[in-house]
Amino acid sequence: MDRRDALSRVALLLGGTVIGAEAFLKGCKPETKYGASLKFTPEDVAYLDEVAETILPRTSTPGAKDAKVGQFMTVIVNDCYEEKDQKTFLEGMQKLDDASKKKNSKSFMESTPQQRHDLLVELDKEAKDYQSKKKEDDSNHYFTLMKQLTLWGYFTSEAGATKALRYVAVPGRYEGCIPYKKGDKAWAT
């Protein structure tokens, strides 16, 4: 699967465009500076892994943490986001933790999986409302960035493409019409 195919599939999952995708598709050429060079700590990566795992938890298939989505997020934010979105993302990491402290009286990392889930459901509703009302010049909602990166990172990872989706490394002939049964996995290409 090449980057364009992977990204277009993730965009379809998200119902639109993926923030930072333009830089990714151009290959993040060194002569193009998209944002500031950021330093993410191992604790930041662990935190982002837990956010991603709450969005896509391990079930009968690997979860986002298994796919190392936290590390993926840091690379894309650092290399492909414009400075405005980098700032939104970094501030969003703190806002999410503050929201957890307000709702659960403990940090996101200290919260139970159910508390994390409930918080992210609320933030997802907030982000959808914000996105529907935002003007072109407004920054993106931080949770939208986190959720997009989670889906993008997971479904383009080996674990996501081969375990969560149906995957054939070397497909046979083209069949334009294959019956789909409810509950079947989507295809990875």
Written as six digits, the tokens of 20 are: 């930072």
Question: Residue 167's beta-bridge partner residues?
Answer: 188
Vertex 72 angle, CA 71 and 73, to 5°: 90
Tens-digit pLDDT profile for residues 27-55:
545 455 556 688 899 999 999 999 999 99
Per the document, the length of the chain is: 189
Tell me the pLDDT of the chain (189 aa) as tens digits: 454 555 555 555 555 556 665 555 555 454 555 566 888 999 999 999 999 999 999 998 899 999 999 999 999 999 999 999 999 999 999 999 999 999 999 999 999 999 999 999 999 999 999 999 989 888 999 999 999 999 999 988 888 877 777 776 666 676 677 777 888 777 665
Tens-digit pLDDT profile for residues 9-31:
555 555 555 666 555 555 545 45
Written as six digits, the tokens of 60 are: 């009968």
- Does this model's pTM top 0.85? no
Going by the DSSP 8-state scheme, the letter that residue 161 receives in this structure is I
Say if residue 123 is exposed, middle or buried (CB neighbours under 10 Å; 0-12, 13-18, 19+): buried
Going by the DSSP 8-state scheme, the letter that residue 165 receives in this structure is S
What is the H or E stretch that residue 73 is in? helix 69-80
Q: Which residues contact 99 (CB under 8 A, 6 or more apart)?
A: 119, 122, 123
